[in-house]
């Protein structure tokens, strides 16, 4: 959803409350695309603090389906995001880039709420998602989910660098 912020600049101290629905259906991260399952409207509170500066505070509640890091089963991961940003509207796009304050969610006087939420999701993505603490993962030979079935694969994979030592042990083994 796009929010036009021009009406906030009519006077200093002006405030605006906005409830915006998310238009996105999935979240594209560097390691894949995750489906957005649950989302509540994003609540934002804008304040003109003077000198062409805006502050925005808000919250977003949503959930993503992220594959388990061990067994690849989809896991519903809830997010409760607190949003807090300051926009200095005096700066040009070039000045923002030089100050390393890139704001891809702000184009002119238009705020893209979906992009703002995505920006916050990048910061809050978990390093590892597990379906349960004792997840057994998948078999590295046949690909079976070990949480659901047991397989008869030989899992005693030895380090190939140790094969010379294994040969020495085999030579001295009693028959």
CB 43 within 8 Å of CB 59: yes
Q: Which residues have CB under 8 Å from 112's CB, separation 6+?
A: 1, 2, 104, 105, 106
Model confidence at 162: pLDDT above 90? no
Residue 102, SS3 per DSSP: coil
Give pLDDT, residue 100. 56
Mean pLDDT across the stretch 133-145? 90
Q: Residue 51: pLDDT band by 50, 70, 90 thresholds?
A: confident
pLDDT tens profile 11-49:
888 899 999 999 999 999 888 899 999 899 999 999 998
Q: Residue 70: pLDDT band by 50, 70, 90 thresholds?
A: very high
C-alpha triplet 114, 116, 120: angle, nearest 5°: 115
Domain boundaries, given as residue ranges, for the chain: 2-124
Q: For 119-137, give the DSSP string.
A: HHHHHH--S---SSTT---
Q: How far apart are CA 65 and CA 63, in angstroms?
A: 7
Q: How far apart are CA 149 and CA 42, in angstroms?
A: 42
Give pLDDT, residue 148. 92
């Amino acid at each position: 959803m796009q929010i036009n912020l021009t009406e906030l600049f009519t006077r200093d101290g002006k405030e605006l409350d906005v409830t915006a629905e998310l238009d996105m259906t999935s979240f594209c991260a560097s390691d894949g695309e995750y489906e957005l399952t649950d989302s509540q409207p994003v609540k934002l509170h804008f304040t003109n603090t003077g000198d062409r500066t805006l502050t925005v505070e808000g919250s977003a509640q949503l959930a993503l389906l992220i594959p388990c890091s061990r067994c690849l089963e989809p896991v519903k991961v809830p997010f409760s995001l607190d949003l807090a940003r300051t926009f200095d509207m005096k700066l040009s796009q070039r000045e923002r880039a030089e100050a390393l304050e890139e704001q891809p969610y702000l184009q002119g006087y238009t705020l893209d709420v979906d992009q703002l939420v995505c920006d916050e999701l990048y910061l809050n993505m978990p390093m590892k998602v597990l379906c349960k603490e004792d997840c057994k993962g998948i078999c590295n030979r046949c690909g079976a989910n070990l949480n659901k079935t047991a397989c008869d694969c030989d899992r005693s994979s030895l380090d190939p660098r140790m094969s010379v030592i294994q040969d020495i042990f085999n030579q001295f083994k009693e028959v």
